[in-house]
Amino acid sequence: MSDLTIGRESAGAAARSASDVYRAVWRWHFYAGLMVLPFMITLAITGALYLFKDEIDAAVYSDFKQVELQENVGRTAPSAMVAAALAAHPGTAVKFTDPLSPISSTEITVSTESEGKLAVYVNPYTGEVLGALPDRGTIMWTIRYLHSLKYFGSFARALIEIAAGWSILLVGTGIYLWWPRRQTGGVLSVRGTPKRRVFWRDTHAVTGLFVGFFIVFLAITGMPWSGVWGDKVNEWANGSNFGYPAGVRVAVPMSGDHLDHVAKTSWSLEQAQIPQSTGHQHGAAPISLDEAVATFDRLGLHRGYAVNIPDDAMGVYTGSVYPDDLSQQRVVHLDQYSGQPLLDMSFADYGPLGKWLEWGINVHMGQEFGLVNQLVLLAACMAIVMLAVSAAVMWWKRRPAGSLGVPPIPSNRRVFRGLLAILLVGGVVFPLVGASLVTMLALDWLYLKARKTRHA
């Protein structure tokens, strides 16, 4: 065999090897797209809307949520506003939410027998009841539940975790497929017209390049809400399901209840146990809601804080607030008899993991950097929708008639080994993703077997 022939054989083998790797990556990029793109469109649209939750709710429910500023006029006592809310909607008051601004109404959460929990809105200057809505019944709460698939039960939460893991795989394989290979276009520019497949291929590749970082970031920061990974990491991060950040435990009796059961709270404090009031054992009289609110004001809680009203002799007044400014997050439990703080937690008390996760969640929700945060993520959400649409159009134009159009399998199956090793590592970190990976491998094997049988 001549030296020239040996050189040609080596070059041919290298070309086949590169082609096989490309095919393997392309095949799994296709599968990742099948798993993720329907979810990505839904998450992108609902997420884009939720970025502007305060603005949308304020506009839709302006008659309930906004009042006219009355300068030099004192606010109605919290107990009087609660009494007005109960007169309009008889039941039990369970929460008092302080007005966020001088033109915001007060929200009283009332548990009723006939209508369930209601959010009753009261003018803090006049004590007039402005109206009521089902608790968490606003448009933006509906959008939030659609975004998290909460309407569809715990199984849907598992799907969110799977979609997040596969979206990371989608970005990784997409970058490999985008990587320049002597082509003159389609790297940072779009060739052709919408009638041609190359236009949609380039649109997909270039959009994916610029939005890939945001997809990975949103997937990772969305993981804390997932069913398996999120719950387990929350439990671990809070110290064997005890919940309180390091350094703020105090020697007071604890109830078996967790903060997330009684009040909207940050992810890091969902497992935090609630202390108990003990004054009833000595015949002490409980303080009033007015005194509790005055104490929270004196302690300096950020405006817009919520006060959960104790419902039994051992309960506490819990003041909690989660504003856009992370440093102002705070939870304070007051003894309902002495009015003394039993526990006072703020963002500064969170551990390093808790701080990082809360920062990521805040950015994910468009809160950390104000309007800039909202607009950047809005652009990312729009790009994600374009990414999904371009993928669908590109696939439709490429697929053979009567076929699913799965990318061809490599001639050398060994190229899958390295790719599968990476996938399996991800599957260990995210168990549900690993389970879905095994499922996809089985389905791919059955698909190949069925094709062989059909062509035999």
pLDDT digits (tens, 9 = 90+) for 67-83: 999 988 889 999 999 99
Q: How far from 77 is each of 62, 131, 289, CA to CA, in Å?
A: 23, 19, 9
Q: Classify burial at 128, counting beta carbons within 10 Å of its beta carbon; exposed 0-12, middle 13-18, buried 19 or more.
A: middle
SS3 at position 53: helix
- Would residue 149 be called left, alpha or beta, if left means φ above 0 and alpha means ψ between -120 and 50 degrees? left
CA distance 91 to 88: 10
Name beta bridge partners: 123: none
Which segments of 72-138 does DSSP mark as H helices, in order?
Answer: 78-88
Q: What is the CA radius of gyration of the chain?
A: 28
The b-or-e profile of 89-101 (16+ CB within 10 A means b, else e) is bebebbbbbbbbe
Identify any residues that bridge with 104 across adjacent strands, giving them in sequence order: 66
Percent of the chain scored above 70 by pLDDT?
A: 79
Contact status, residue 40 vs residue 47, Cβ threshold 8 Å: no
For the chain, what is the mean pLDDT?
Answer: 82
Whole-prediction pTM value? 0.83
- More confident of the two residues 29 and 124: 124
CB atoms near residue 126 (< 10 Å)? 16
Q: List 92's β-bridge partners, or say none.
A: 111
Distance from C-alpha of 399 to C-alpha of 33, rounded to nearest angstrom:
15
pLDDT single digits (tens) 118-128: 999 999 999 99
Place of tokens 């506009």: 59
Residues in the chain: 456
* Residue 117 bridge partners (DSSP): 111
Judged by DSSP in three states, 345 sits in: strand
Name which of 200-214, 298-312, 387-401 the model is least confident about. 387-401
DSSP strands (E only) in 247-293: 254-258, 273-275
Report yes or no: 225 and 148 within 8 Å, Cβ to Cβ: yes
Q: In this predicted model, what pLDDT tens digit does every residue of 419-451 receive, in sequence order?
A: 667 667 766 667 777 777 777 777 777 776 776
Catalogue all structural domains in the chain, each as residue range(s) with its CATH number: 20-51+146-226+371-455 (no CATH), 62-137 (3.10.450.40), 247-350 (no CATH)
Tell me the residue type at 235.
Answer: E
Instruction: State how far Cα 326 lies from the chain centre.
Output: 16
Closest CA to 332 of 279, 278, 263, 280: 263
- 310 close to 271: Cβ distance less than 8 angstroms: no
Residue bearing tokens 């134009």: 397
- The amino acid at residue 434 is G
pLDDT average, residue stretch 208-215: 92
Task: Read off the pLDDT of residues 380-393 as tens digits, 9 standing for 90 and up.
Answer: 999 999 999 998 88
pLDDT band at 414 (very low <50, low <70, confident <90, very high): low
When comparing pLDDT for 372 and 452, which is higher?
A: 372
